[in-house]
Amino acid sequence: MSTAHGTDPNPRPPTVRSSGSAGVQGLSKWFGTVRALSEVTLDFPVGQVTALMGENGAGKSTLLKILAGDHRPTLGSVVLDGESVQFATPTEARRAGIRIIPQEPEIIPHVSVAENVYAGALPRRVGRRLDRAELRRRITADLERFGFDKVLDPDLIGSELTPAQRQLVEILRALTGEAKVIAFDEPTSSLSEHEVDALFALIRRLRDHGVAVVYVSHRMREIFQLADRIAVLRDGALAGVQDAHATSEGELVRLMVGRDLSTMFSRPHVATDRLVLDVRGLTTDDVRDIDLQIHAGEIIALAGLIGAGRSELALALAGDRPVRSGTATLGGQPLRFGKPGAVIRAGLGLAPEERKAQALFLHRSIRDNTSTVVLERLRRFRFVRRGAERELAREYADRLRVRTPSIEHEVRKLSGGNQQKVVLARWLARRPKVLILDEPTRGIDIGAKAEIYEIIADLAADGVAVLVISSELPEVLGLADRIVVMQNGRITGELARNDATEEAVLNLAMADDIAPVPTSGVPA
């Protein structure tokens, strides 16, 4: 069909093939003795955005996988056009008009964006050769149709894509062809503000053209921006369905976790005058003239828009990026730039933004992941004392309330919040002087967030200097003793806790008199 290839003279999003209903009826799913879903009946009205919320482990992913044909329900069924259906494979679900856009994009690394988008349906010439001219026409038209032509280059190779670009490719792939139900699973976790605006505009167009949209997110602001109705799962059961225009954030939290989390940012002020990290004039290819001081027990939030240089600064401090000039001392001793091992031994730890790609050994156990930076402490005559290693892993898994059958459980099988706790357990075991947390609550639910905030407060109470990088302004304002704001690789100002507001942070983050750091990295 022309609509699948972007050649329609009147561009439009995918549309439903009928005006029938969509949803699930009496859905239950067991994995052995573990119940993931319990008699869930929920409709997804066409022409509406239904937000799906709940803590990690509440059953959201299982429900989406049943819709997608990845899992078959133990009881109940998917309902389309008023009829119960069962999908044996994802291909059957797609043919029926169901699209699931996963949180973790699946990208073919060695081919272009265009080939990734149309994988499995590439235009061919006689002789089965790829028709590159037709491929170019399709991708150009679709990028324009869906509003991504300014943010995605169709010729980029999959391995060169940023996390945000990978997410957009996955979205485009799902939008080719006809659709009845489109589910977005945490689609904005890697997107910039401009890309989020384009995505939201697209979702509204899909809704207005009669597609049933399911939107999974932990971000309350997004939910209230987009949703017509909000369904909440708790412990595998449907806790309630709310009109998005007649409910509150507090009511949704109570439905999700069964308790009030209004005090999750409350903590005593424990910062001291003892200077732990002192950075002077730090300059790299990405940041310039950074002066930053952090004291024992202090929580500093590093704020700014995507591309401000916050993560790049963190990587430079951790020894993972070359430093052109400047100095830093940790506990009064010079910090050895470019030497990650020396930085760790000096007492600085980094929990990076991409925990799955940069922090965790996904196919290894909780025990292995926890002990990896303290193995020298656990060795005797070159051999790791396994009993001591198990004891350490159990101690921190219990302390951080990691929800797992055992410390031998593979990390890849944990929820996002529990994976983040394993990263934190590793650094707590190391007992750092300074801990940098880059987007520590990205992609995790509200209950797990409250637990992470409690862990951060406990670290500060123990005298650890904590530097938190976050794109969520309520989190920045709630956690920090001081807020340092960056833009274009430079610090534009800082705010004390009592003086900080969202408006004040954004004003510093969008200062228009700060030129970007030269791409060559050579100081002007």
The verdict on 372 and 394 lying in the same domain is yes
The verdict on 42 and 171 lying in the same domain is yes
Instruction: Report how far residue 486's alpha carbon sits from residue 305's, in angstroms, rounded to the nearest whole number.
Output: 8
Q: Which positions ≥6 away from 289 have C-beta within 8 Å?
A: 281, 282, 283, 326, 490, 491
For residue 159, which amino acid is it?
Answer: S
Q: What is the pLDDT along the chain (524 residues), one digit of tens a residue?
A: 333 333 333 334 443 343 457 899 999 999 887 788 999 999 999 999 999 998 777 889 899 999 999 999 999 999 998 889 989 898 899 889 898 888 777 889 999 999 998 887 888 887 788 888 999 999 998 888 887 888 788 999 988 888 778 878 888 887 777 788 999 988 887 777 777 887 888 889 889 888 899 999 888 889 999 999 999 998 899 999 999 999 998 888 888 877 665 666 777 788 899 999 999 999 999 999 999 999 999 999 999 887 889 999 999 999 999 999 999 999 999 999 989 999 999 999 999 888 888 889 899 999 999 998 888 888 888 788 888 889 988 998 888 888 888 899 999 888 878 888 999 889 888 889 999 999 988 877 777 788 889 889 999 999 999 999 998 888 898 899 999 999 999 999 999 988 888 888 988 987 655 555 554 433 33
Instruction: Report how far residue 189's alpha carbon sits from residue 354's, in angstroms, rounded to the nearest whole number.
Output: 11
142 domain-assigned:
no
**Token representation of residue 347:** 């007492």
Compute and round to an integer the Cα radius of gyration of the chain.
24
**Closest residue by Cα to residue 509 from 500, 498, 521:** 500
Record the pTM: 0.61
Q: Which domain holds residue 24?
A: 2-107+163-257
Question: Are the beta carbons of 170 and 105 closer than 8 angstroms?
Answer: yes
pLDDT of residue 152: 86
**Token representation of residue 65:** 């996988």
- Residues β-bridged to residue 31: 34
Of 377, 394, 425, which closes a domain?
A: 425
Instruction: Report how far residue 38's alpha carbon sits from residue 29's, in angstroms, rounded to the nearest whole number.
Output: 7
HSE (CB half, 13 Å, CA atoms) of 501? 4
Instruction: Report how far residue 427's alpha carbon sits from residue 348's, in angstroms, rounded to the nearest whole number.
Output: 9
The verdict on 25 and 54 lying in the same domain is yes
The verdict on 477 and 390 lying in the same domain is no
Q: Which positions ≥6 away from 207 have C-beta within 8 Å?
A: 47, 48, 49, 213, 228
DSSP 466: E
The verdict on 88 and 192 lying in the same domain is yes
The verdict on 176 and 207 lying in the same domain is yes
Instruction: Report how far residue 335's alpha carbon sits from residue 9's, in angstroms, rounded to the nearest whole number.
Output: 61
The verdict on 371 and 479 lying in the same domain is no
132 domain-assigned:
no
What three-state secondary structure class fits 250?
A: helix
SS (H, E, C) 407-445: CCCEHHHCCHHHHHHHHHHHHHHHCCCEEEEECCCCCCC
Domain CATH code at residue 340:
3.40.50.300
In sign, the C-alpha dihedral spanning 16, 19, 23, 25 is negative
- C-alpha 156, offset from chain centre: 23
Domain count for the chain: 3
Question: Are the beta carbons of 215 and 227 closer than 8 angstroms?
Answer: yes
For residue 359, which amino acid is it?
Answer: A
The verdict on 173 and 58 lying in the same domain is yes
Q: Are strands 325-330 and 229-234 parallel, antiparallel or unpaired?
A: unpaired
Q: Which positions ≥6 away from 409 have C-beta within 8 Å?
A: 365, 366
Instruction: Report how far residue 151's alpha carbon sits from residue 207's, in angstroms, rounded to the nearest whole number.
Output: 23
